[in-house]
Structure 1
Amino acid sequence: MEQTWRWFGPRDTVSLSDARQAGATGIVTALHYIPPGEVWPIDTILERQRTINSAGLTWSVVESVNVSEDIKQRGKNWQQHIDNYIATLRNLASCGIRTVCYNFMPVLDWLRTDLEWELPDGSISMRFEADAIAAFDLFILRRPGAENDWSDAQQRSAHTRLQQMSEAEHERLIRTVVAGLPGTTEIYTLDYVRNAIASYADIGREGLRANLGEFLHAVCPAAEEFGVRLCIHPDDPPRSLLGLPRIASTMEDLQFLLDQAPEAANGITFCSGSLGARPDNDLVAMIRQVAKRIRFVHLRSTKREPGNDAFYEAPHLAGDVDIVALMKELVREERRRAASGDDAQIPFRCDHGNKILTDIGSPSVPGYPAVGRLRGLAELRGVLTAVEALT
C-alpha cells in the first residue's frame, strides 16, 4: 500500500520535507484556491506537481476537486460546471494524476464542535458533540424549522449546554462550525450558512441523491476514458445536520452510489473515521462489500463517548475502529488486484491526528498537525508491516 500525506500547498505550516521525513512517499493535495466549478489549468497543475517532485515525492491523489453547489443542487450553472469538472479531470490525467477524491456534502464539509479538545494525557483532539450542535442550530443559527429536527429532550439538553458556555466558548463554537472547508481561507458567516441551508429545503435527501446520480452519469464515462478514478468521501459525521441531508453515510448509501455508474471510475474513498463514528456501521463487512471499488483510504479512529451523543478523534490504534482488521482486508484486496493485473497499489493516509509534543501551540490546519500525524503514520506502518508478514 502506498503511504501518503495530506499537504495543503506552499502555505501549509507542515512542509513537504516533514512529510518525507515522516516516511510518506506520496502527497495528497489540491489547488484549494481555485473555486469549485472552475477549470484547473494544466500549467498550474504542473507547477504544483514540480514542487512536489522536487521534494522527492509524488502527487498521488487529488483531495479534492470540489463539487460546486450548482452541481449538488442542479442549479443554473450545472452544465457549465460539469463541463469544467470534466476538463479538470482531463488536465489532471494529462499530467499523470489519476486518483481524485471528492465529496457530496452540501454547504459544509466535515463538521466538529471543538477543535481543541484536551485529552487526559494533555494531547489535543477534535470533538463532535450533538448537544453543542443542537445549541448552535436552535439558539445561535436559529434555523427555521430546527425544532422539528430535535426531540424535546434534545432541545432541553441543548439549552442547558448553551447556558453552560462562557462567552468565549460561545464565540468559539460559532467559529468552529462556520470555519469553511479545510485548506481554504474562506470563513462563512451565519447569514451565509443560514441562506445556503435554506437553498436545500426543496431538495431533501432524495433530491440530493438524484443529483449525485446525475453527476456520476455525466462525469464517470469521461473519467473512464481518461483513466481517472473518482472516489467519493463519506459524510463526516455520517448523519444529517443543520437540516442538510447526508447521502454517503451507510452501506446502503455507498451501494446506491456505486449502482449509479458501472464504470470503474466510480469509486470510494474508504474513511474509517467518518464511517466509524456511526455505531451501526460494520466497517469490516462494508470494506469487504466495496473492496473492488476502493481507490483511496483514510485510516483513523474515532471514539464514541458512552452515554453521550458525542465522539472525538482518538489515537489511531485506540478508538472504536479495528484498524488491524481493516488493514487485513486492504492487504487481501491489494494482493487480489496484483494477481488479476488490476490497479494493484492502494494509497492510504493517516487521516487527522492529535496535537502532541511540539504540535501544541504551533499553527496547523485543524486535524493536520505534523507530529500527531507522524505518530499516526508510524503506527499504521507498523500494523501494515505485521499484517503483510502474517496474512
Structure 2
Amino acid sequence: MRMVFRWFGKDNDSVSLEHIKQIPGVEGVVWALHDVPAGEVWPLDKIKEQKAEIDAAGLRMDVVESVNIHEDIKLGLPSRDQYIENYKRTIENLAKVNVKVICYNFMPVFDWIRTNLFEKLEDGSTALFYEKSKVDNIDPLELVKKISANPDYTMPGWEPERLHSLSNLFEAYKNVTNDDLWRNLEYFLNEIIPFAREHDIKLAIHPDDPPWPIMGLPRIITSQDNIRKLLNLVDDPYNSITLCSGALGVNLENDIPAMIREFKDRIAFAHIRNVKVYENGDFIETSHRSEDGSLNMNEIVKAYYETDFKGYARPDHGRHIWEEQCRPGYGLYDRALGIMYLWGIWDTFQRTNLREKALNESFVR
C-alpha cells in the first residue's frame, strides 16, 4: 500500500507540503489544477510548475484527483468528441511528468453532497454531515435561486462555473436515464482507455457519493454489481476504480471487504475512511477508528492486506479537530491521525504474518 495525501495547492490549502512530508509513511500528494475548468486541456507549463514544487518537498505526484469530465460527455452531446480529445491531450501532458493514476467521477451535475460542512460531534469536533430528508425535499429550482442570489457561494472541490450554471444543467438532464448515462460512460471509456494504456496512466473512477439518485439525477457507480458492470464495459486493467469505503459505505448493504477481494486487480486507488450511518439515512464523517463509525475498518484494511494491495491509498475526509481552520473535510490533524490508525492495522497484519512465517519455517526445519 502506497500512502498519499490530498493537497489542493499552496494557494488553496491550509496544509503545507512540509507538514505532509512529516506524516510517517506518506510518499506523495494527490493533486490537481483546480483553476482549469472541466473540459479544458491542462497546460504543460502549469503541470511542470506543480511538479517542481512537489519534487522540492521530496514528495511524489503519481495520482491526480480529479481531471473532471465535462458535462457534455456525460450528456452524450455531439460536442463530447472535442472534450474527449482535450482529455487525451491532458493525459499526454500528465504522462510527461510520470502521473500513474487519474481519479475521476461520472456523477451528473453534483460531485459529493453534504448538508452541513461543520456538524458538531459528541467530542466537540465537527465533520461533514448529510441530512437525508433535507436532500430528499430539496426543490432543484429553489437551490438554483439560492445560488444565483449569492455569487460567492462555493463548495469544496467544485469549479464556480458549474455551481452557477445549475439551471441549464438540470434542464439538460431532465430526460437522461441511468441507461443513457451508462451508454455515455461506455462511449467515453472506449475512446479514452486505449489512449490511457498507451501512456501508462490508469483511469480510476470514483463511486457516486452518496450512492443513490439525487434530485432526480441518475447515478450509476453505486454498488458491487454496478462496479462489475463498469469494469466489463472495457475489460482492461487501465479501466480501474477508486474504491472509496466512505462513499459506498453509507449504503450499509455494500460489502466493502467483498468488493476489495473481487476487484483487487482493478483497484488503482483507495479512499479509506469511516462514516457513521443513522437509522433515518443521515450520515456523518467520523474518525477512522472502527468503533466511531459504522464500517469495520479492521476488515477493510485486512482485505487490502490479504489481497496484497500495492496501489495508492489516502485517508480521505477527516474531522476538524483542535480548532484547526481548514478546508472542510481536509485538515491536517485528523487525516494524519487516520493515516497512523490505518498503518497500525496494516503493520499488525504484516508483523503477525512474518511471525507465523518464521514459526512455520522453524517447524519445517
Tell me: CA distance 1:181–1:83, structure 2 relative to 1, closer, same or farther (3 Å). farther
SS at match of 2:323: helix
Q: What is the match of residue 344 of structure 2? A: 382
Structure 1 residues 50 and 142: alpha-carbon distance in aligned structure 2, compared to 1, 3 A threshold: closer
Aligned-partner Cα distance in 2 for 1:230–1:274 = 18
Cα deviation, residue 358, structure 1? 3.2
Q: CA RMSD in A?
A: 2.0
Aligned to 1:328: 302
1:60 deviates by: 2.1
Question: 1:110: how far off?
Answer: 0.2
The TM-score with structure 2 as length reference comes to 0.90
- For 1:295 and 1:287, locate their aligned partners in 2 and report how far apart those are by CA, in whole Å: 11
Output the CA distance in 2 between the equivalents of 1:204 and 1:121: 43
When residues 139 and 122 of structure 1 are mapped into structure 2, their CA distance, relative to the original with a 3 A threshold, is: farther
Task: State how many pairs are aligned.
Answer: 346
Separation in structure 2 between the aligned mates of residue 182 and residue 56 of structure 1, nearest angstrom? 25
What is the distance in 1 between the residues matched to 2:120 and 2:253? 27
Unaligned runs of 5+ in 2: 354-365
Tell me the percent identity.
Answer: 37
Question: Aligned runs of 1:225-244 on 2, under 5 Å?
Answer: 225-244=198-217
Residue 51 (str. 1) matches residue 53 (str. 2): yes
Which residues in structure 2 correspond to 1:300-379 (within 5 Å)? Answer: 300-306=273-279, 308-317=280-289, 318-334=292-308, 345-359=310-324, 362=325, 364-379=326-341
**Which residues in structure 2 correspond to 1:201-240 (within 5 Å)?**
201-240=174-213
In the other structure, the counterpart of 1:10 is 10
Aligned to 2:357: none
2:356 maps to what in 1?
none
* 2:57 is aligned with 1:92: no
Q: CA deviation at 1:77?
A: 1.9
Q: CA deviation at 1:294?
A: 0.2
| Native 8 Å contact 1:235 1:247 kept in 2 | yes
1:182 touches 1:365 (CA, 8 Å); kept in 2?
Answer: no
Q: Work out the CA distance in 2 between the residues paired with 1:187 and 1:121.
A: 35
Structure 1, 246-255 or 374-383: larger mean CA deviation: 374-383
**TM-score for both structures, normalised by structure 1:** 0.84
Q: CA deviation at 1:33?
A: 0.8
**Structure 1 counterpart of 2:360:** none
From the superposition, tell whether residues 94 and 139 of structure 1 become closer, same or farther in structure 2 (CA, over 3 Å).
closer
Listed as ranges, the gaps of 5+ residues in structure 1 are 144-170, 336-344
Q: Which amino acid aligns with 1:366?
A: P
- SS for the counterpart of 1:239 is coil
1:22 — aligned with what? 23
Distance 1:77 1:138 in 2: 26
In the alignment, the residues of structure 2 paired with residue 80 and residue 261 of structure 1 have an alpha-carbon distance, to the nearest angstrom, of 21
